[in-house]
Structure 1
Amino acid sequence: MTSGPAIVGESSARVVVLSRDGCHLCADALTVVARVCAETGDSYTEVDVDADPELRRQYNDQVPVTFVDGRQHDFWRVDETRLRSALAAPG
């Protein structure tokens, strides 16, 4: 997967989720991310893709998009097993 945009790389959170209001896939993804991060002790943050024209242009059709350590990890759905594996690796 590719490196994320500057806004993702600037976050101090290990996991960043690009989402938007009213997105049921985003709600599902955030539920998985919150659960896994609570268990692993890692931090996460949510970024509204519609608040930044460049993010919206680049990721509009992929939302939700999940980044781990600044690199794109998943889009549309978050695979809990893959996320745990990514967080087990050194940041």
Structure 2
Amino acid sequence: MTVLVRESCHLCEEALAVVRAVCAETGADWSTEDVDADPELRRRYTDQVPVTFVDGVQHDFWRVDPDRLRAALAG
């Protein structure tokens, strides 16, 4: 799974806390990508950060629901 983030983003910190916890439980690998480092990502997702992707498909944005994330990672 991947999380698009940006510096100084309080929603990103909240989302990352959920992602860390759920991935620790499930053993899923995850990474972050700075949305502002890529002009195309910034253009597409700037108003939705943080954005989560599971298996390359957009899963959520702004807030991450732990139960929904567990289900997506299991499925």
Whether TM-score is above 0.5 comes out as yes
User: Structure 2 CA distance, aligned partners of 1:81 and 1:40?
Assistant: 12
Matched, 1:58 2:44: yes
- State the AA in 1 paired with 2:37: A
Q: In the TM superposition, what are the counterparts of 1:43-82 in structure 2 within 5 Å?
A: 43-82=29-68
User: Structure 1 CA distance, aligned partners of 2:67 and 2:42?
Assistant: 28
Identity of aligned residues (%): 69
TM-score normalised by the chain length of structure 1: 0.81
Unaligned runs of 5+ in 1: 1-14
Unaligned runs of 5+ in 2: none
User: Structure 1 CA distance, aligned partners of 2:74 and 2:4?
Assistant: 22
Say what the alpha-carbon RMSD is for the aligned residues: 0.4
Count of aligned pairs between the two proteins: 75
